Chain A
Amino acid sequence: MSAATLFGLCAATLVGLGLYGVIAHPQPLRKIVAFNILGSGVFLMLGSVARRGAAAGMGGDPVPQALLITGIVVAFSATALAIALLLRLSEVSGSVTLSSDAPAEPKPDAGKA
């Protein structure tokens, strides 16, 4: 089996693992980690496709590889925003939960503490 196929299959499994974590984990931070695993699975799959497109003396198709660099940076900025939202939520409500019936009483601007 070529490295491209092997890591392509690895990527498919990573997408599955990440998807399960995003749905099944109760903690938002763990969902963010799982989302990053899912994202890296997608990137790895594109990377395996890029490797298969090796030609003209290049080790891989440079177009998907360049898109991957863009993708990784965009994924980072989304993660940074998600974490900022999470920290603000814990600052305002005192707990981090996505449950709709949680007893979290939002205090008016608890950020003063």
Chain B
Amino acid sequence: MTEAFDILLAALILGLALWTAIARETFAAVLGFMAYGLLLTLVWVRLHGVDVALTEGAIGGGLTGVLLIGAAARSRATESVSLAERPGTLTRALAAGLAAAVASALAVCVLILPVPAPTLAHEVAANLASTGVGNPITGVLLAFRAMDTLLEAIVLLFALVGVWSLAPDRAWGGRPGLRHSADPNGILAYVARVLPPIGVVVAMYIFWVGADHPGGKFQGATILASMWLLVMMAGLADAPPIRRSWVRVGLVAGPVVFIAIGLLGAWTAGAFLAYPDGLAKPLILVIEFALMPSLTLTLGLLMAGAPQRPEAP
């Protein structure tokens, strides 16, 4: 029964991926991609990666899908121009040949993976107790491989700096994106008033249970950021001008706390990002609490895009 479900799921995913490749309209392809992201979430659950499923659903399918739809809607007018630049038959045949070769090589690799599979699960299980957290993924993210998580938060900041640097000169320091206006009595404004309180509670719950169960700051921050986006799209609140100092401080506060605790580890525990004995859990909590608002702000502003309007007087 589950085998049949898996095969159906794999077939649907491949079908949707093919659809995004061959659909004539970009908008249709992007919608296919969003459905693909949601189905991929199911695959992660089938592969016993519930934390990954939450991240994929929130970020991979959700935020990326919204970004793509916005871009597709704005570049619709120029679509026909670039369609005429379709590469020649030879290029496409070579591309298909290369893609088939890479896919076959990977498929062979999948089939000849070593048995029994190498795993670090035993090491994680043996050392998890010293971190004080119950969810092994959180343990890996914030203790065993904390450096990755720190760099990831910094990559997000760099991406935001990159996006901001695309602002036209006159809009530098101003508000990102276009001003959204919606009917104040319409359904969007209604949803944007009713949903955020529920969303905030769900986000905090997912954030808090992340210590012992699937969830965590990234998933929670994504939900918070999408609630913020909803409020902005309904025109209930405008995006903040990026020159505001609270925006700048908020963005870097999380990574700065993370780095400070890392340096504290270098001083007290002998290695950058090492936690002193018995203090692992409280320090992890401090990092999570500091990162969550910064991540929310970063994700929300990344979605809002480059500054386009000078700050209104």
Contacts and interface: CB of A to CB of B under 8 A. Distances in A.
B102 A53 contact: no
Interface of B: 2-3, 6-7, 10, 13-14, 17-18, 20-21, 26, 29-30, 33, 36-37, 40, 43-44, 46-49, 51-52, 55-56, 59-60, 63-64, 67-68, 70-72, 74-75, 78-79, 81-87, 91-92, 95-96, 98-100, 102-104, 106-107, 109-111, 113, 117-122, 124-125, 136-137, 139-141, 144-145, 148-149, 152, 155-156, 158-160, 162-163, 166, 168-171, 216, 218, 302-303, 305-306, 308
Given A76-B63, A79-B67, A80-B67, 12 more contacts: A12-B103, A12-B104, A14-B17, A26-B85, A28-B82, A37-B33, A37-B36, A43-B56, A65-B49, A69-B52, A76-B60, A112-B170
Contacts of B120: 53, 61-63
Interface string A74-99: 11111111011111101100111111
A96 B78 contact: yes
A108 to B, nearest CB: 11
Contact of B20 (A15, A37, A70, A94): A37
A20 to B, nearest CB: 4
11 contacts: A5-B110, A11-B106, A12-B109, A29-B30, A33-B68, A40-B60, A63-B145, A77-B160, A88-B166, A98-B85, A111-B170
Q: Is the interface of B mostly helix, strand, loop or mixed?
A: helix
Main secondary structure of the interface of A (DSSP, over half): helix
A111 to B, nearest CB: 4
